[in-house]
Amino acid sequence: QSVLTQPPSVSGAPGQRVTISCTGSGSNIGAGYDVHWYQQLPRTAPKLLIYGNTNRPSGVPDRFSGSKSGTSASLAITGLQAEDEADYYCQSYDTSLSTYVFGLGTKVTVL
Amino acid sequence: QVQVQESGPGLVKPSETLSLTCTVSGGSLYSSDYYWGWIRQPPGKRLEWIGSIQYGGTTYYNPSLKSRVTMSVDTSKSQVSLKLSSVTAADTAVYSCARHYRAFVRYRGNGDGFDIWGQGTVVAVSS
């Protein structure tokens, strides 16, 4: 089954830079479909963080950035802050499954 | 500011039909730029798109669930509903309503996303 693979967890000290990878395949990211990222703080609804691989919605700090290359995408958080502790999900479209697909999520811990 | 809120029973018996409602506030259902989607997350598993509906009633379903899913829209109440029939324990999940944006309309992109989410409602399937 074509799915998006993310690391279960990443951690960093305040002020550091962390990256979260999202690995897909030729039927989703590699097929040219955009990647979107969501942040879910504890006990809150998911929030759109990055859309269209690299774009930040209004109000999202520029500490968050996205990139895409080949069959993978990445989310980078620079200047990590305690408030960034959350689960992060990537999402794209899969043409083989004819459905929108999500990663399993990555928990970011601020040390 | 547009908000969405899910409502419905938290417990459904096996083989019965799960019914949920999503109420949209602070904005209109009437837009060709957006659809309204349902997404669920079973415990310990990934988010799963169930389907989306446009205000005119055009629906798009996940092929893996299509035979059991029915979505409808009530523009007078600004509500979108989800029905999932013949449920089993595997349908136990947090069910969320979300505004589904069209990538090409939003930024000339390819591959839609979801920009406004509800808090989600827990639905357990158990006798």
Question: Hey, what's the torsion of the CAs at A38, A40, A41, A42, to 10 degrees?
Answer: -170
d(CA A92, CA B104): 14
Is A37 at the interface with chain B, CB within 8 A? no
Q: What is the mean pLDDT of residues A86-101?
A: 96
The confidence score (pLDDT) of residue B103 equals 86
Question: Hey, what's the torsion of the CAs at A89, A71, A77, A15, to 10 degrees?
Answer: 120
**Across the interface, do B109 and A89 touch by the CB < 8 Å criterion?**
no
pLDDT averaged over chain A? 95
Q: Could you tell me if B71 and B97 are in contact, meaning their C-beta atoms sit under 8 angstroms apart?
A: no
- Asked whether the predicted pLDDT for residue A2 surpasses 80, the reply is no
Say how many CB pairs under 8 Å bridge A and B.
71
Is A60 at the interface with chain B, CB within 8 A? no
Structure tokens at B122: 């827990």
In chain A, whose CA is at the least distance from the CA of B45? A104
Report pLDDT digits (tens) over B34-60: 999 999 999 989 999 999 999 999 999
Min Cα separation B105/chain A (Å): 12
Which residues on chain A are in Cβ contact (under 8 Å) with B120?
Answer: 45
Q: Which residue from A35, A39, A48 is spatially nearest to A83, judged by alpha carbons?
A: A39
Q: Could you tell me if B69 and B62 are in contact, meaning their C-beta atoms sit under 8 angstroms apart?
A: yes
The confidence score (pLDDT) of residue B16 equals 98
Rounded alpha-carbon distances, angstroms, from residue B94 to A7, A19, A55, A95, B42: 22, 27, 28, 25, 6
∠ CA A12-A17-A19, nearest 5°, is 90
Report pLDDT digits (tens) over B68-126: 999 999 989 999 999 999 999 999 999 999 999 998 888 888 999 999 999 999 999 99
- Asked whether the predicted pLDDT for residue A98 surpasses 70, the reply is yes
Report pLDDT digits (tens) over A19-70: 999 999 999 999 999 999 999 998 888 999 999 999 999 999 999 999 999 9
The confidence score (pLDDT) of residue A72 equals 98
pLDDT band at A15 (very low <50, low <70, confident <90, very high): very high
Is A34 at the interface with chain B, CB within 8 A? yes
* E-strand stretches of B8-66: 11-12, 18-25, 34-41, 48-53, 59-61
**Across the interface, do A33 and B110 touch by the CB < 8 Å criterion?**
yes
Of the candidates A33, A44, A100, which has its C-beta nearest B49's C-beta?
A: A100
Q: What is the mean pLDDT of residues A95-110?
A: 96
Alpha helices (H) along chain B: 103-107
Which of B38, B45, B47 to probe the A interface (max A CBs under 10 A)?
Answer: B47
Report pLDDT digits (tens) over B22-33: 999 998 888 888
Q: Tell me the sheet residues that pair with A4.
A: A103
Q: What is the DSSP letter of B16?
A: S
Counting Cα atoms < 13 Å in the Cβ hemisphere of A104 gives: 11
Q: Could you tell me if A5 and A103 are in contact, meaning their C-beta atoms sit under 8 angstroms apart?
A: yes
The confidence score (pLDDT) of residue B108 equals 87
d(CA B84, CA A88): 28
- Asked whether the predicted pLDDT for residue A1 surpasses 70, the reply is no
Of the candidates A47, A52, A102, which has its C-beta nearest B46's C-beta?
A: A102
Min Cα separation B36/chain A (Å): 14
- Asked whether the predicted pLDDT for residue A74 surpasses 80, the reply is yes
**Across the interface, do B47 and A89 touch by the CB < 8 Å criterion?**
yes
Mapping DSSP onto H, E and C, the string for chain A reads CCCEECCCEEEECCCCCEEEEEECCCCCHHHCCCCEEEEECCCCCCEEEEECCCECCCCCCCCEEEEEECCEEEEEECCCCHHHCEEEEEEEEECCCCEEEEECCEEEEEC
